Structure 1
Amino acid sequence: MEINISARDIRAFLAVVNDLSFSQAAQKMHLSQSALSTLIGRLEEAVGARLFHRTTRTVTLTAAGEALAAYADQLLSDIERAVTAVRDIAEVRRGRVAIAALPSLAARIIPRLFRAYGEKYPDVRLSLIDTLSMPAFELVREGRVDFALTAANPAYTDLDYLPLTTDSFVLLMARSHPLARGRGAVRFTDTLSSPHISMSRHTSVRQYLDAAALQRGVGFYPAFEVDHLATIGAMVREGLGVSALPAMAADVIGATGIVRRPLVDPAIRRSIGLVMRRAVPLSAASESMLALLRQQVPDWVS
Structure 2
Amino acid sequence: MPINAQLNWTPRDLDIFLLLAENGSFRRTATQAHLSQSAVSGVIARLEEALATRLFDRTTRSVHLTVAGQVFVEQAKLLSAQTLEAVQRVQQITQVQSGKVSIAALPSLAATVVPRVMARFAAQYPHIALQLHDTLSGPAFDLVRSGTVDLALTAANPDYADLDYTPLSADGFVLLMPLGHPLAKTQSPLSWLAVAELTHISMPLPASVRQYANTAFMTHGMAFQPRYEVEHIATIHAMVKAGLGVAALPELAAAFVQQGGVATRRLKGPDIQRPLGVVTRRNRSLSPAAQEILRMLRQETTSVLP
Name the TM-score class by shorter chain: over 0.9
1:116 counterpart (99, 113, 120): 120
Matches within 5 A, 1:200-219: 200-219=204-223
Superposed CA offset, 1:164-206 (max 9, x none): 0111111111111111112222222211222011111211001
In structure 2, runs of 5+ residues without a counterpart are none
Deviation at 1:118, TM superposition (A): 2.4
In structure 2, the partner of 1:251 is 255
Deviation at 1:270, TM superposition (A): 0.6
1:138 counterpart (137, 142, 146): 142
In structure 2, the partner of 1:55 is 59
1:185 counterpart (186, 189, 192): 189
Most deviating of 178-187 and 278-287: 278-287
Partners of 2:114 and 2:297 within 8 A in 1: no
SS at match of 2:42: helix
In structure 2, the partner of 1:101 is 105
Matches within 5 A, 1:146-185: 146-185=150-189
Most deviating of 193-202 and 291-300: 291-300
Partners of 2:196 and 2:217 within 8 A in 1: no
In structure 2, the partner of 1:261 is 265
Most deviating of 202-211 and 291-300: 291-300
Percent identity over the alignment?
A: 47
Matches within 5 A, 1:226-245: 226-245=230-249
Partners of 2:9 and 2:47 within 8 A in 1: yes
Matches within 5 A, 1:9-88: 9-88=13-92
User: Could you tell me how far apart the structure 2 residues matched to 1:279 and 1:49 are?
Assistant: 45
User: Could you tell me how far apart the structure 2 residues matched to 1:149 and 1:73 are?
Assistant: 46
After TM superposition, the score normalised by the length of structure 2 is 0.93
In the alignment of these two chains, the number of paired residues is 302
After TM superposition, the score normalised by the length of structure 1 is 0.94
Superposed CA offset, 1:102-130 (max 9, x none): 11111111111222222333322221211
Most deviating of 261-270 and 88-97: 88-97
Most deviating of 162-171 and 270-279: 270-279
SS at match of 1:129: strand
In structure 2, the partner of 1:126 is 130
Residue 201 of structure 1 aligns to which amino acid in structure 2? L
SS at match of 1:155: helix
User: Could you tell me how far apart the structure 1 residues matched to 2:289 and 2:132 are?
Assistant: 15
Superposed CA offset, 1:227-264 (max 9, x none): 11111011111111111101111122132111111112
SS at match of 2:277: strand
* Alignment RMSD: 1.6
In structure 2, the partner of 1:287 is 291
In structure 2, the partner of 1:275 is 279
Partners of 2:217 and 2:224 within 8 A in 1: yes
